[in-house]
Structure 1
Amino acid sequence: MRKTLILAGLFATAPLIAQSTPQVPGAADPARITGGTYATDPSHTLIEFEVDHFGFSDYFGIFGDATGTLMLDPKKPANAKVDITIPVAKVTTASARLTDHLLRAGKDGGKPDFFGPNPADAHFVSTSVVVKGTTAKITGNLTLNGITAPVVLDTEFKGAGINPYSKKETVGFEAETTIKRSTFGIKTGIPFVSDEVELEISVPFEKVG
Protein backbone atom coordinates (compact mmCIF):
# COMPACT_ATOMS: atom_id res chain seq x y z
CA MET A 1 0.00 0.00 0.00
CA ARG A 2 2.80 2.38 0.90
CA LYS A 3 4.55 1.72 -2.43
CA THR A 4 1.31 2.35 -4.27
CA LEU A 5 0.91 5.75 -2.62
CA ILE A 6 4.51 6.69 -3.39
CA LEU A 7 4.13 5.75 -7.07
CA ALA A 8 0.85 7.64 -7.30
CA GLY A 9 2.55 10.70 -5.87
CA LEU A 10 5.39 10.49 -8.38
CA PHE A 11 3.04 10.24 -11.35
CA ALA A 12 0.98 13.13 -10.00
CA THR A 13 4.04 15.41 -9.79
CA ALA A 14 5.63 14.31 -13.09
CA PRO A 15 3.87 17.00 -15.20
CA LEU A 16 5.10 19.68 -12.79
CA ILE A 17 8.66 18.41 -13.07
CA ALA A 18 8.45 18.38 -16.87
CA GLN A 19 7.09 21.92 -16.94
CA SER A 20 9.95 23.20 -14.78
CA THR A 21 12.69 21.69 -16.96
CA PRO A 22 14.61 24.58 -18.59
CA GLN A 23 14.86 24.66 -22.37
CA VAL A 24 17.81 25.87 -24.42
CA PRO A 25 16.92 29.03 -26.37
CA GLY A 26 18.11 27.81 -29.76
CA ALA A 27 16.28 25.23 -31.87
CA ALA A 28 16.94 23.80 -35.34
CA ASP A 29 13.79 25.37 -36.77
CA PRO A 30 14.33 27.45 -39.94
CA ALA A 31 10.97 29.14 -39.36
CA ARG A 32 12.60 31.03 -36.49
CA ILE A 33 15.00 32.84 -38.83
CA THR A 34 14.14 36.39 -39.84
CA GLY A 35 15.81 38.30 -42.65
CA GLY A 36 18.47 40.91 -42.18
CA THR A 37 22.12 41.41 -41.35
CA TYR A 38 23.76 39.40 -38.59
CA ALA A 39 27.19 39.83 -36.99
CA THR A 40 29.36 37.15 -35.44
CA ASP A 41 29.48 36.67 -31.69
CA PRO A 42 33.31 36.63 -31.63
CA SER A 43 33.72 35.20 -28.13
CA HIS A 44 31.76 32.08 -29.12
CA THR A 45 33.09 31.71 -32.66
CA LEU A 46 35.69 28.95 -33.02
CA ILE A 47 37.61 27.60 -36.00
CA GLU A 48 39.45 24.39 -35.21
CA PHE A 49 42.25 23.09 -37.43
CA GLU A 50 43.52 19.53 -37.47
CA VAL A 51 46.64 18.09 -39.09
CA ASP A 52 48.23 14.64 -39.14
CA HIS A 53 51.50 14.61 -37.19
CA PHE A 54 54.07 12.07 -38.45
CA GLY A 55 51.32 9.51 -39.04
CA PHE A 56 51.19 8.89 -35.28
CA SER A 57 48.48 11.29 -34.16
CA ASP A 58 46.30 14.22 -35.11
CA TYR A 59 47.11 17.65 -33.73
CA PHE A 60 44.58 20.38 -33.09
CA GLY A 61 44.56 24.15 -32.76
CA ILE A 62 42.00 26.93 -32.59
CA PHE A 63 41.44 30.32 -34.15
CA GLY A 64 39.03 32.47 -32.11
CA ASP A 65 37.54 35.96 -32.06
CA ALA A 66 36.53 35.87 -35.73
CA THR A 67 34.43 38.84 -36.82
CA GLY A 68 32.16 39.37 -39.78
CA THR A 69 28.65 39.45 -41.13
CA LEU A 70 25.96 37.21 -42.55
CA MET A 71 23.15 38.56 -44.72
CA LEU A 72 20.06 36.36 -44.73
CA ASP A 73 16.73 36.33 -46.55
CA PRO A 74 14.69 33.25 -45.50
CA LYS A 75 12.62 33.55 -48.68
CA LYS A 76 15.78 33.50 -50.82
CA PRO A 77 18.37 31.49 -48.83
CA ALA A 78 20.63 31.13 -51.88
CA ASN A 79 21.18 34.89 -51.76
CA ALA A 80 22.94 34.68 -48.40
CA LYS A 81 26.28 36.49 -48.11
CA VAL A 82 29.06 35.65 -45.66
CA ASP A 83 32.10 37.80 -44.89
CA ILE A 84 34.39 36.61 -42.08
CA THR A 85 37.77 37.88 -40.82
CA ILE A 86 39.95 35.54 -38.75
CA PRO A 87 42.79 36.94 -36.59
CA VAL A 88 45.55 34.42 -37.34
CA ALA A 89 47.80 36.08 -34.75
CA LYS A 90 45.46 34.79 -32.02
CA VAL A 91 45.98 31.12 -32.93
CA THR A 92 46.31 28.85 -29.91
CA THR A 93 47.20 25.20 -29.30
CA ALA A 94 47.52 22.95 -26.27
CA SER A 95 51.29 23.50 -26.32
CA ALA A 96 52.86 26.92 -25.73
CA ARG A 97 55.93 25.68 -27.58
CA LEU A 98 53.94 24.76 -30.68
CA THR A 99 51.97 28.00 -30.60
CA ASP A 100 55.27 29.88 -30.49
CA HIS A 101 56.51 27.81 -33.44
CA LEU A 102 53.48 28.82 -35.50
CA LEU A 103 54.11 32.51 -34.82
CA ARG A 104 57.89 32.81 -34.57
CA ALA A 105 60.05 34.62 -37.11
CA GLY A 106 62.12 32.74 -39.64
CA LYS A 107 65.71 31.86 -38.74
CA ASP A 108 68.45 34.23 -39.88
CA GLY A 109 65.96 36.51 -41.57
CA GLY A 110 64.41 33.69 -43.61
CA LYS A 111 60.74 33.00 -44.11
CA PRO A 112 58.78 31.77 -41.06
CA ASP A 113 57.99 28.06 -40.91
CA PHE A 114 54.29 28.80 -40.57
CA PHE A 115 52.51 32.14 -39.97
CA GLY A 116 55.28 34.30 -38.56
CA PRO A 117 55.16 36.93 -35.77
CA ASN A 118 52.83 39.43 -37.47
CA PRO A 119 50.49 37.43 -39.70
CA ALA A 120 47.75 39.22 -41.58
CA ASP A 121 44.19 38.27 -40.77
CA ALA A 122 42.64 35.53 -42.88
CA HIS A 123 39.52 36.55 -44.79
CA PHE A 124 36.66 34.50 -46.26
CA VAL A 125 34.07 36.00 -48.61
CA SER A 126 31.29 33.84 -50.06
CA THR A 127 30.62 33.79 -53.79
CA SER A 128 27.71 31.33 -53.94
CA VAL A 129 25.38 29.42 -51.63
CA VAL A 130 23.58 26.20 -52.60
CA VAL A 131 20.94 25.27 -50.01
CA LYS A 132 19.43 21.82 -49.47
CA GLY A 133 17.09 21.62 -46.50
CA THR A 134 19.04 22.69 -43.42
CA THR A 135 22.42 22.22 -45.10
CA ALA A 136 24.31 24.29 -47.64
CA LYS A 137 27.46 24.34 -49.69
CA ILE A 138 29.01 27.77 -49.36
CA THR A 139 31.66 28.52 -51.94
CA GLY A 140 33.95 31.46 -51.39
CA ASN A 141 37.44 32.90 -51.57
CA LEU A 142 39.78 32.40 -48.62
CA THR A 143 42.74 34.72 -48.28
CA LEU A 144 45.48 33.31 -46.04
CA ASN A 145 49.17 34.18 -45.88
CA GLY A 146 48.64 36.71 -48.65
CA ILE A 147 47.24 34.14 -51.10
CA THR A 148 43.61 33.82 -52.20
CA ALA A 149 42.06 30.53 -53.28
CA PRO A 150 38.53 29.07 -53.54
CA VAL A 151 37.14 27.01 -50.65
CA VAL A 152 33.84 25.13 -50.24
CA LEU A 153 32.27 24.93 -46.78
CA ASP A 154 29.85 22.08 -46.02
CA THR A 155 27.50 23.93 -43.71
CA GLU A 156 24.69 22.87 -41.38
CA PHE A 157 22.11 25.05 -39.66
CA LYS A 158 22.35 24.41 -35.91
CA GLY A 159 19.69 26.61 -34.38
CA ALA A 160 17.91 29.94 -34.04
CA GLY A 161 16.32 31.83 -31.18
CA ILE A 162 16.78 34.72 -28.77
CA ASN A 163 20.05 34.87 -26.86
CA PRO A 164 18.94 35.25 -23.20
CA TYR A 165 21.93 37.45 -22.36
CA SER A 166 22.23 39.79 -25.34
CA LYS A 167 18.44 39.63 -26.03
CA LYS A 168 19.29 39.48 -29.74
CA GLU A 169 17.99 37.18 -32.45
CA THR A 170 20.72 34.61 -32.97
CA VAL A 171 21.37 31.97 -35.62
CA GLY A 172 24.08 29.34 -35.41
CA PHE A 173 25.86 27.30 -38.05
CA GLU A 174 28.52 24.62 -38.15
CA ALA A 175 30.75 24.01 -41.16
CA GLU A 176 33.68 21.90 -42.24
CA THR A 177 36.15 21.82 -45.06
CA THR A 178 39.61 20.55 -45.95
CA ILE A 179 42.28 22.79 -47.45
CA LYS A 180 45.88 22.24 -48.50
CA ARG A 181 48.20 24.59 -46.67
CA SER A 182 50.68 24.42 -49.55
CA THR A 183 48.06 26.25 -51.64
CA PHE A 184 48.61 29.19 -49.31
CA GLY A 185 52.41 28.98 -49.35
CA ILE A 186 52.77 27.18 -45.98
CA LYS A 187 54.85 24.12 -46.84
CA THR A 188 57.04 23.42 -43.80
CA GLY A 189 57.22 19.78 -42.75
CA ILE A 190 55.19 18.25 -45.58
CA PRO A 191 54.54 15.28 -45.64
CA PHE A 192 55.56 14.63 -42.00
CA VAL A 193 52.97 17.22 -40.97
CA SER A 194 50.13 16.78 -43.42
CA ASP A 195 49.50 19.19 -46.24
CA GLU A 196 45.76 18.60 -45.72
CA VAL A 197 44.26 20.68 -42.94
CA GLU A 198 40.76 19.87 -41.72
CA LEU A 199 38.74 22.85 -40.50
CA GLU A 200 35.74 22.61 -38.16
CA ILE A 201 33.83 25.86 -37.76
CA SER A 202 31.19 26.88 -35.23
CA VAL A 203 29.68 30.37 -35.57
CA PRO A 204 26.75 32.09 -33.87
CA PHE A 205 25.51 35.28 -35.53
CA GLU A 206 23.47 37.95 -33.74
CA LYS A 207 21.06 40.19 -35.61
CA VAL A 208 22.19 43.76 -36.08
CA GLY A 209 19.76 46.53 -35.15
Structure 2
Amino acid sequence: MRHAIAILALAVSAPLVAASVQQLPGAPDASRVTAGTYTADSGHSLVGWRVDHFGFNSYFGIFGDVAGTLTLDPANPAAAKVDVTIPVSKVTTASAGLTDHLLRAGKDGGQPDFFGPNPADARFVSTSVTPNGNRARIAGNLTLNGQTRPVTLDAEFTGAGANPMNKKETVGFEATATIKRSEFGVNYAIPMVSDEVKLDITVAFEKN
Protein backbone atom coordinates (compact mmCIF):
# COMPACT_ATOMS: atom_id res chain seq x y z
CA MET A 1 0.00 0.00 0.00
CA ARG A 2 2.77 2.41 0.95
CA HIS A 3 4.53 1.62 -2.34
CA ALA A 4 1.41 2.49 -4.32
CA ILE A 5 0.99 5.78 -2.43
CA ALA A 6 4.63 6.71 -3.12
CA ILE A 7 4.18 6.05 -6.83
CA LEU A 8 0.99 8.15 -6.88
CA ALA A 9 2.72 11.02 -5.07
CA LEU A 10 5.61 10.93 -7.55
CA ALA A 11 3.22 10.96 -10.51
CA VAL A 12 1.41 14.00 -9.12
CA SER A 13 4.55 15.96 -8.23
CA ALA A 14 6.59 15.27 -11.37
CA PRO A 15 4.72 17.78 -13.61
CA LEU A 16 5.04 20.42 -10.92
CA VAL A 17 8.80 19.89 -10.68
CA ALA A 18 9.15 20.00 -14.47
CA ALA A 19 7.15 23.22 -14.64
CA SER A 20 9.42 24.87 -12.09
CA VAL A 21 12.55 24.25 -14.21
CA GLN A 22 12.85 27.24 -16.51
CA GLN A 23 14.61 26.93 -19.83
CA LEU A 24 17.30 29.51 -20.54
CA PRO A 25 16.37 31.89 -23.38
CA GLY A 26 19.78 31.52 -25.03
CA ALA A 27 21.59 28.43 -26.31
CA PRO A 28 24.60 27.81 -28.59
CA ASP A 29 22.36 26.72 -31.44
CA ALA A 30 23.21 28.28 -34.81
CA SER A 31 19.74 27.50 -36.14
CA ARG A 32 18.42 30.24 -33.83
CA VAL A 33 20.50 32.93 -35.57
CA THR A 34 18.96 35.02 -38.34
CA ALA A 35 20.85 37.16 -40.83
CA GLY A 36 21.12 40.88 -40.27
CA THR A 37 22.91 43.65 -38.41
CA TYR A 38 23.21 43.49 -34.64
CA THR A 39 24.21 46.18 -32.14
CA ALA A 40 26.29 45.50 -29.04
CA ASP A 41 24.36 45.35 -25.78
CA SER A 42 26.71 47.72 -23.96
CA GLY A 43 25.34 46.85 -20.54
CA HIS A 44 26.33 43.21 -20.95
CA SER A 45 29.58 43.45 -22.92
CA LEU A 46 33.03 43.60 -21.35
CA VAL A 47 36.71 43.43 -22.26
CA GLY A 48 38.87 42.08 -19.46
CA TRP A 49 42.65 42.54 -19.42
CA ARG A 50 45.35 40.76 -17.43
CA VAL A 51 49.05 41.55 -16.91
CA ASP A 52 51.82 39.95 -14.89
CA HIS A 53 52.86 42.07 -11.90
CA PHE A 54 56.53 41.82 -10.86
CA GLY A 55 56.55 38.12 -11.69
CA PHE A 56 54.52 37.44 -8.54
CA ASN A 57 50.97 37.17 -9.85
CA SER A 58 48.51 38.47 -12.38
CA TYR A 59 46.51 41.66 -12.02
CA PHE A 60 43.39 42.32 -14.05
CA GLY A 61 40.79 44.96 -14.83
CA ILE A 62 37.95 45.58 -17.25
CA PHE A 63 36.65 47.95 -19.88
CA GLY A 64 32.85 48.14 -19.98
CA ASP A 65 30.23 49.81 -22.15
CA VAL A 66 31.49 48.18 -25.33
CA ALA A 67 29.62 49.54 -28.37
CA GLY A 68 29.51 48.59 -32.03
CA THR A 69 27.92 46.39 -34.65
CA LEU A 70 28.01 42.85 -35.98
CA THR A 71 26.82 41.94 -39.47
CA LEU A 72 26.10 38.23 -39.61
CA ASP A 73 24.60 35.66 -41.98
CA PRO A 74 24.53 32.10 -40.57
CA ALA A 75 24.53 30.79 -44.15
CA ASN A 76 27.88 32.50 -44.77
CA PRO A 77 29.68 33.02 -41.43
CA ALA A 78 32.98 33.81 -43.16
CA ALA A 79 31.39 37.03 -44.44
CA ALA A 80 30.66 38.30 -40.93
CA LYS A 81 31.94 41.75 -39.99
CA VAL A 82 32.43 43.27 -36.56
CA ASP A 83 33.24 46.86 -35.63
CA VAL A 84 33.36 47.68 -31.92
CA THR A 85 34.66 50.50 -29.75
CA ILE A 86 35.95 50.20 -26.20
CA PRO A 87 35.88 53.30 -23.97
CA VAL A 88 39.36 53.30 -22.43
CA SER A 89 38.31 56.21 -20.19
CA LYS A 90 35.95 53.84 -18.34
CA VAL A 91 38.65 51.38 -17.28
CA THR A 92 37.93 49.78 -13.91
CA THR A 93 40.22 48.01 -11.43
CA ALA A 94 39.86 46.87 -7.83
CA SER A 95 42.28 49.62 -6.75
CA ALA A 96 41.21 53.26 -6.88
CA GLY A 97 44.88 54.27 -6.84
CA LEU A 98 45.71 52.11 -9.84
CA THR A 99 42.67 53.26 -11.78
CA ASP A 100 43.74 56.85 -11.14
CA HIS A 101 47.28 56.00 -12.27
CA LEU A 102 45.98 54.56 -15.56
CA LEU A 103 44.10 57.78 -16.32
CA ARG A 104 46.16 60.55 -14.75
CA ALA A 105 48.08 63.15 -16.73
CA GLY A 106 51.84 62.99 -17.14
CA LYS A 107 53.97 64.75 -14.55
CA ASP A 108 55.11 68.28 -15.33
CA GLY A 109 53.38 68.23 -18.70
CA GLY A 110 55.07 64.99 -19.80
CA GLN A 111 53.50 61.94 -21.35
CA PRO A 112 51.19 59.96 -19.04
CA ASP A 113 52.44 56.61 -17.75
CA PHE A 114 49.48 54.79 -19.26
CA PHE A 115 46.46 56.39 -21.01
CA GLY A 116 46.08 59.86 -19.54
CA PRO A 117 42.89 61.64 -18.45
CA ASN A 118 41.17 61.88 -21.85
CA PRO A 119 42.04 58.74 -23.80
CA ALA A 120 40.38 58.06 -27.12
CA ASP A 121 38.19 55.00 -27.43
CA ALA A 122 39.90 51.85 -28.65
CA ARG A 123 38.42 50.30 -31.79
CA PHE A 124 38.55 46.84 -33.35
CA VAL A 125 37.49 46.36 -36.98
CA SER A 126 37.53 42.86 -38.44
CA THR A 127 39.22 42.10 -41.76
CA SER A 128 38.47 38.37 -42.05
CA VAL A 129 36.61 35.59 -40.26
CA THR A 130 37.64 31.92 -40.40
CA PRO A 131 34.82 29.80 -38.93
CA ASN A 132 35.26 26.34 -37.43
CA GLY A 133 31.99 25.03 -36.04
CA ASN A 134 30.94 27.22 -33.10
CA ARG A 135 34.39 28.79 -33.03
CA ALA A 136 36.15 31.24 -35.35
CA ARG A 137 39.39 33.16 -35.74
CA ILE A 138 38.62 36.81 -36.31
CA ALA A 139 41.48 38.85 -37.76
CA GLY A 140 41.30 42.62 -37.65
CA ASN A 141 42.92 45.90 -36.75
CA LEU A 142 42.96 47.26 -33.20
CA THR A 143 43.46 50.99 -32.69
CA LEU A 144 44.59 51.85 -29.17
CA ASN A 145 46.40 54.89 -27.82
CA GLY A 146 46.69 56.32 -31.33
CA GLN A 147 48.38 53.21 -32.76
CA THR A 148 46.82 50.62 -35.08
CA ARG A 149 48.08 47.03 -35.14
CA PRO A 150 46.72 43.69 -36.42
CA VAL A 151 45.14 41.48 -33.75
CA THR A 152 43.50 38.06 -34.03
CA LEU A 153 40.66 36.98 -31.74
CA ASP A 154 39.90 33.35 -30.92
CA ALA A 155 36.13 33.55 -30.68
CA GLU A 156 33.34 31.19 -29.62
CA PHE A 157 29.61 31.46 -30.31
CA THR A 158 28.01 31.04 -26.88
CA GLY A 159 24.29 31.59 -27.33
CA ALA A 160 21.34 32.85 -29.36
CA GLY A 161 17.69 33.48 -28.67
CA ALA A 162 15.20 36.17 -27.74
CA ASN A 163 16.09 38.44 -24.82
CA PRO A 164 13.16 37.99 -22.40
CA MET A 165 13.42 41.61 -21.24
CA ASN A 166 13.12 43.42 -24.57
CA LYS A 167 12.22 40.51 -26.93
CA LYS A 168 15.13 41.34 -29.25
CA GLU A 169 16.97 38.56 -31.06
CA THR A 170 20.34 38.28 -29.32
CA VAL A 171 23.59 36.46 -30.07
CA GLY A 172 26.51 36.10 -27.68
CA PHE A 173 30.21 35.52 -28.19
CA GLU A 174 33.31 35.15 -26.06
CA ALA A 175 36.86 35.64 -27.31
CA THR A 176 40.47 35.77 -26.19
CA ALA A 177 43.51 37.53 -27.59
CA THR A 178 47.01 38.54 -26.54
CA ILE A 179 48.62 41.87 -27.41
CA LYS A 180 51.88 43.65 -26.56
CA ARG A 181 51.14 47.03 -25.06
CA SER A 182 54.49 48.40 -26.23
CA GLU A 183 53.20 48.12 -29.80
CA PHE A 184 50.55 50.67 -28.83
CA GLY A 185 52.95 53.07 -27.11
CA VAL A 186 52.10 52.02 -23.55
CA ASN A 187 55.58 51.28 -22.23
CA TYR A 188 55.49 52.17 -18.55
CA ALA A 189 57.23 49.71 -16.14
CA ILE A 190 58.05 47.04 -18.73
CA PRO A 191 59.16 44.32 -17.84
CA MET A 192 58.15 44.70 -14.17
CA VAL A 193 54.59 44.92 -15.42
CA SER A 194 54.40 42.62 -18.41
CA ASP A 195 54.42 43.86 -21.97
CA GLU A 196 52.07 41.00 -22.80
CA VAL A 197 48.42 41.73 -22.07
CA LYS A 198 45.83 38.96 -22.19
CA LEU A 199 42.34 39.98 -23.26
CA ASP A 200 39.15 38.15 -22.25
CA ILE A 201 36.12 39.40 -24.16
CA THR A 202 32.40 38.75 -23.76
CA VAL A 203 29.86 40.52 -25.99
CA ALA A 204 26.12 40.27 -26.57
CA PHE A 205 24.67 41.68 -29.78
CA GLU A 206 20.98 42.52 -30.30
CA LYS A 207 19.38 42.52 -33.74
CA ASN A 208 18.39 45.93 -35.10
1:97 aligns with 2:97: yes
**Percentage of matched positions with identical amino acids:** 66
SS at 1:93 equivalent: coil
For 1:10, the equivalent position in structure 2 comes to 10
Distance 1:63 1:164 in 2: 26
For 2:21, the equivalent position in structure 1 comes to 21
Distance 1:46 1:177 in 2: 14
Distance 1:172 1:134 in 2: 11
Deviations 1:128-155 (A, max 9, x none): 0000000000000000000000000000
Query: What letter corresponds to residue 176 of structure 2 in structure 1?
Result: E
1:188 aligns with 2:193: no
For 1:159, the equivalent position in structure 2 comes to 159
Alignment of 1:49-198 (within 5 A): 49-198=49-198
Distance 2:194 2:2 in 1: 66
| Structure 2 residues not aligned, in runs of 5+ | none
Distance 2:3 2:186 in 1: 70
SS at 1:61 equivalent: strand
Deviations 1:163-188 (A, max 9, x none): 01111000000000000000101010
Deviations 1:186-205 (A, max 9, x none): 01011110000000000000
Deviations 1:94-140 (A, max 9, x none): 01000000000111111100000000000000000000000000000
1:16 offset after TM fit, Å?
A: 2.9
Provide the aligned length of Structure 1 versus Structure 2: 208
SS at 1:115 equivalent: coil
SS at 1:92 equivalent: coil
For 1:206, the equivalent position in structure 2 comes to 206
Distance 1:187 1:205 in 2: 33
Distance 1:124 1:155 in 2: 14
Distance 1:65 1:117 in 2: 18
| Structure 1 residues not aligned, in runs of 5+ | none
1:13 offset after TM fit, Å?
A: 1.6
SS at 2:78 equivalent: helix
Distance 1:140 1:93 in 2: 27
1:12 offset after TM fit, Å?
A: 3.9
1:24 offset after TM fit, Å?
A: 1.1
Deviations 1:36-80 (A, max 9, x none): 000000011110000010111110100000110000011111000
Distance 2:7 2:89 in 1: 60
SS at 1:193 equivalent: coil
SS at 2:97 equivalent: helix
1:3 offset after TM fit, Å?
A: 6.7
